[in-house]
Structure 1
Amino acid sequence: MLYKVEGIVTRSMDYGEGHKIISVYTREAGKMSVMVRGAKKLKSRHGAVTQLFTYGEFVIYKNAHMGTLNAAEITDSFHKLREDLMKGAYAAYIVEMVEKLTGEMEPNAPLFEQLLAALKGIAGDKPPHIIAHIMEMHMLVLSGYMPELDQCVSCGSKEGEMALSIAAGGILCPRCRLKDPQGIVLGAGTLKLLRLFRTMDLRRLGEIDVKPVTQAQLKRCMRGMMDMYMETKWKSRSFLDQMEKYGME
């Protein structure tokens, strides 16, 4: 079957001496694994389209197994993401999330829109850490792990300084906080942003200024939930940690 799709390259790997296998997350069909024959050859007409983050139109022949690329036209190569180490690292983490947490041929046009908006946002100098946190929340919700952030997950109270209990799947009020000594006490700004992240449309993300203490809490919360519920190792996130360790962010 022949597919003409709009897609973004979320993974690219060498195959044999001259070929590549890419994953393309498409608006119409979800994730598609595609063989690109001769992509590593110097004169290949498909070499550029196999680069990570490439957004364009793809014509793919798909049988019961892997697809084969017939033609492609690049809409945006997102070269800024490859030229800037920090932007590229955050973008790589975002496409890795989509690559690992979605199934083959499972259409999800809204997720495609958020992925595209995330890459455009990072390339356009919007805060990459905030965009990454919003995508993390989207992927948690998509996977069925919507945290309870509107009231205490134990008693239903909405009063007092809340703490996020990752184990309990939501916030705890001051009276119930002892049920999870590992709970992360949240500032009002942190809780407000976490609530916002659940439904934030990245296409409408405006200017946002986050205090360092709030950013630290957000990172701890999102990291904890991703580690608890996704149970996977993130190659790109490890690289981000190395950048932070050596003051490269």
Structure 2
Amino acid sequence: MPPPKTYRAEGLVLKNIPFGEADLLVTLYSREFGKLKAVAKGARRSNSKIVGHFEPLTVAKLSMARGRTLDIVNQVEVTENFSSLKSDLTTLARGLYVAELVDGFGSEASSNQQLYDLAIETLGAIQQHPSWELVLRRFELHLMRASGFMPELFHCVDCRKPLEPEQHRFSPDAGGTLCLDCAPYGVQIRSLSLRALKVLRLLHRSRIADLPQLQAHESLEQEVKSLLSTAISYWMDKEIRTNSFLNHLERLPKAEVSS
């Protein structure tokens, strides 16, 4: 039986690009169908009723019609636009980073509700608690978990022996932690402190509400960030553009970022 000509979905807008004279080609990640691309007819016209409905980081319920090459949006109802998140440059950049990773890890027409819920939950936390520094680190780790790329954190991925304290390293392409006796040929190996390993394990089993209880000084946060960034970049196999912008913002004085 052929699929129905129209269908409904709830989705997070990841990005859009101009299409034709007045349309938008929208990429969104849906709860029901995974990553989708669809054309929003007339969305760029100033008098259109749907102007602004397809901004990145907007959650909407959509009715769509299947097309030969691209689906068409028939109706759209915005349910969450994360307006407070978008009003601040730093939180906006963090939100766009989330969207870029979902775009990179999400599969087209393949539902992953865990990934969808993780993205929405993370954007909500960024909006409500912008001072939570570890929210993106938790997102990165749980993103890999939801996508089937969760790095090993408790055993050596080569010999499978339990890790001993201070006797461990990290290799994203090997699949996680290595003991000091194992060094698979041709893989990138990073140093891994015991404190960073403990933070990674805590983030792995933490709920997002637990983040205020996780304390880490700046150098430890930077180590965890660097390790996870290496793993994310390895699996995405391309440059993460928003990461460079986030790093630039972090180097600016706070007064300059907020102005």
TM-score (structure 1 length as normaliser):
0.87
Tell me whether 94-103 or 237-246 shows the greater mean CA deviation.
237-246
Letter in 2 for 1:160: P
Q: Does 1:49 align with 2:53?
A: yes
Assess if the C-alpha contact under 8 Å between 2:118 and 2:143 holds in 1: no
Letter in 1 for 2:165: G
What is the distance in 2 between the residues matched to 1:32 and 1:128?
A: 31
Assess if the C-alpha contact under 8 Å between 1:58 and 1:73 holds in 2: yes
Tell me whether 178-187 or 40-49 shows the greater mean CA deviation.
178-187
What is the distance in 1 between the residues matched to 2:246 and 2:190?
A: 25
Tell me whether 209-218 or 114-123 shows the greater mean CA deviation.
209-218
What is the distance in 2 between the residues matched to 1:243 and 1:101?
A: 24
- Taking a change above 3 Å as real, the CA distance of residues 58 and 199 of structure 1, as seen in their structure-2 partners, is farther
Assess if the C-alpha contact under 8 Å between 1:90 and 1:129 holds in 2: no
Q: Which of these residues, 84, 93, 97, is aligned with residue 93 of structure 1?
A: 97
What is the distance in 1 between the residues matched to 2:131 and 2:91?
A: 9
Letter in 2 for 1:12: N
Superposition deviation, residue 41 in structure 1: 1.1
Q: Does 1:210 align with 2:216?
A: yes
TM-score (structure 2 length as normaliser):
0.84
Letter in 1 for 2:103: E
- Taking a change above 3 Å as real, the CA distance of residues 197 and 49 of structure 1, as seen in their structure-2 partners, is same
Superposition deviation, residue 101 in structure 1: 2.1
- Taking a change above 3 Å as real, the CA distance of residues 199 and 69 of structure 1, as seen in their structure-2 partners, is farther
Q: Which of these residues, 33, 37, 60, is aligned with residue 37 of structure 2?
A: 33
What is the distance in 1 between the residues matched to 2:177 and 2:12?
A: 36
Letter in 1 for 2:100: E
Mapping 1:74-223, distance limit 5 Å = 74-127=78-131, 129-155=133-159, 156-161=161-166, 162-174=168-180, 176=182, 182-188=189-195, 190-202=196-208, 204-207=209-212, 208-223=214-229
Assess if the C-alpha contact under 8 Å between 2:63 and 2:73 holds in 1: yes
Structure 1 segments, 4+ long, off by >6 Å, are: 177-181
Residues 169-228 of structure 1 deviation map (CA, whole Å, 9 limit, x = unaligned): 32234555899895223133x2122124345454x4442432212201111101111222
What is the distance in 1 between the residues matched to 2:80 and 2:71?
A: 22
What is the distance in 2 between the residues matched to 1:18 and 1:211?
A: 49
What is the distance in 2 between the residues matched to 1:63 and 1:181?
A: 44
Q: Structure 1: any 5+ residue segments left out of the alignment?
A: none
Among all aligned residue pairs of Structure 1 and Structure 2, give the percentage whose two residues are the same amino acid. Answer: 25
Assess if the C-alpha contact under 8 Å between 2:158 and 2:184 holds in 1: no
Task: State the number of aligned residues.
Answer: 247
Letter in 2 for 1:83: S
Assess if the C-alpha contact under 8 Å between 2:173 and 2:188 holds in 1: no
Q: Structure 2: any 5+ residue segments left out of the alignment?
A: none
Assess if the C-alpha contact under 8 Å between 1:87 and 1:128 holds in 2: no
Assess if the C-alpha contact under 8 Å between 1:148 and 1:170 holds in 2: yes
